[in-house]
A and B are shown apart, each in its own frame.
Chain A
Amino acid sequence: MTKGFPVTGTSTTSDGMTRAEWEGLSDQATGYPANHFAFQQVLNVLAEEQARTLVEIGIGQGSAIPIFAGAGLEMSGLDIDDALVAKSRQAMADCGLNPDTVVWGDIRDGLTYPSLRRLAPFDSLLAMGVLPHVQHELSVLANMRALVRPGGLVFVECRNSLFSLITFNRYTHEFFMDELFADAPADARKAIDAYLQSRLAMDRPPKRRDGHESTFHNPFEVPRMFRQAGLVDVVIRPFHYHAAMPVLEAELGQSFRDGSLAMENEPSGWRGLFLCSAFIVQARRPLGDAGSGGAGSPLGADIVAMGANPKESRHG
Chain B
Amino acid sequence: MGDVRAHYDGSASSYHEQYDADRVWTNAEYPANFFRLRRVIDLLRQAQAVSVYELGAGEATPLVRIHEVLGIGVAGNDISPEMVRLGRENLAAHGLDPQALSLLDVEDAAAVAAEIDLRGLSDAVMALGVIPHVRDDVHFVRAMSAFLRPGGTLLLQFRNSLFSMFTFNRLTKEFILDELMAPVPQPFRDAVAWDLDARLAVDKPPLRQRPDGNGYDEILSRFHNPFELADVVRDQGFEDISFSWYNYHPTYPMLSGQFDPHDYRAAQIALEDDASWRGMFLCSAGLIRARKRG
Report A's interface with B, CB cutoff 8 A: 165-166, 168, 176, 179-181, 184-185, 187-188, 191-192, 195, 199-200, 218, 220-221, 243-245, 247-248, 251-252, 255-256, 259, 263, 266, 268-271, 274-275, 303-311
Q: Which residues of A contact B184 (CB under 8 A)?
A: 243-244, 259, 263
B293 lies within 8 A of chain A by Cβ: no
Q: How far is the CB of B154 from chain A (nearest CB, A)?
A: 13
Chain A, residue nearest B277 (CB): A305
Quick one: which of B183, B199, B275 contacts A199, CB cutoff 8 A?
B199
A256 to B280, CA, bound (A): 29
A307 to B289, CA, bound (A): 8
Quick one: which of A187, A252, A270 contacts B188, CB cutoff 8 A?
A252
User: Judging by beta carbons under 8 Å apart, are B192 and A310 in contact?
Assistant: no
A158 to B135, CA, bound (A): 39
Chain B, residue nearest A196 (CB): B168
A201 to B242, CA, bound (A): 36
Quick one: which of A252, A274, A311 contacts B231, CB cutoff 8 A?
A311
Mark B262-290 against chain A: 1 for CB-CB distance below 8 A, else 0: 01000100000001111111100000010
User: Judging by beta carbons under 8 Å apart, are B250 and A188 in contact?
Assistant: yes
Which residues of chain B in 224-249 are interfacial with respect to chain A, using CB atoms and an 8 Å cutoff?
Answer: 225-228, 230-231, 234, 239-245
Residues A311 and B259 in contact in the complex (CB < 8 Å), given A184-B267, A248-B191, A270-B225: no
Q: Which residues of A contact B225 (CB under 8 A)?
A: 270
Q: List 18 A-B contacts (CB under 8 A).
A: A165-B281, A166-B165, A184-B250, A191-B255, A192-B251, A195-B252, A199-B200, A221-B277, A243-B181, A243-B185, A244-B184, A244-B191, A248-B191, A255-B188, A259-B188, A263-B183, A269-B231, A306-B242
Chain B, residue nearest A267 (CB): B183
B contact residues, total (Cβ < 8 Å): 48
Closest 8 CB pairs of A and B: A305-B277, A307-B242, A220-B277, A270-B227, A307-B243, A308-B242, A309-B241, A244-B188
User: Judging by beta carbons under 8 Å apart, are A311 and B200 in contact?
Assistant: no
User: Judging by beta carbons under 8 Å apart, are B192 and A245 in contact?
Assistant: yes
User: Judging by beta carbons under 8 Å apart, are B281 and A307 in contact?
Assistant: no
A268 to B200, CA, bound (A): 26
Q: Which residues of A contact B230 (CB under 8 A)?
A: 309-311
Chain B, residue nearest A189 (CB): B251
B195 lies within 8 A of chain A by Cβ: yes
Report B's interface with A, CB cutoff 8 A: 165-166, 168, 176, 180-181, 183-185, 187-188, 191-192, 195-196, 199-200, 225-228, 230-231, 234, 239-245, 250-252, 255, 258-259, 263, 267, 275-282, 289
Q: Which residues of B contact A245 (CB under 8 A)?
A: 192, 195
User: Judging by beta carbons under 8 Å apart, are A188 and B251 in contact?
Assistant: yes
A220 to B184, CA, bound (A): 25
Residues A243 and B259 in contact in the complex (CB < 8 Å), given A184-B267, A199-B168: no
A305 to B245, CA, bound (A): 9
Q: Which residues of A contact B165 (CB under 8 A)?
A: 165-166, 274
Chain B, residue nearest A266 (CB): B183
User: Judging by beta carbons under 8 Å apart, are A176 and B192 in contact?
Assistant: no
A310 to B142, CA, bound (A): 21
Q: Which residues of B contact A255 (CB under 8 A)?
A: 187-188
User: Judging by beta carbons under 8 Å apart, are B250 and A185 in contact?
Assistant: yes
User: Judging by beta carbons under 8 Å apart, are B267 and A200 in contact?
Assistant: no
Quick one: which of B183, B241, B278 contacts A305, CB cutoff 8 A?
B278
Q: Which residues of A contact B188 (CB under 8 A)?
A: 243-244, 248, 252, 255-256, 259
Q: Which residues of A contact B279 (CB under 8 A)?
A: 305
A243 to B278, CA, bound (A): 25
Q: How far is the CB of B179 from chain A (nearest CB, A)?
A: 8
A185 to B282, CA, bound (A): 15
A220 to B245, CA, bound (A): 15
A270 to B161, CA, bound (A): 13
Residues A218 and B277 in contact in the complex (CB < 8 Å), given A245-B192, A307-B242, A307-B289: yes
A168-B199, A310-B227, A311-B234 given; name 11 further pairs at CB < 8 Å.
A168-B195, A185-B250, A220-B277, A244-B192, A248-B191, A248-B192, A251-B191, A266-B183, A304-B277, A309-B230, A311-B227
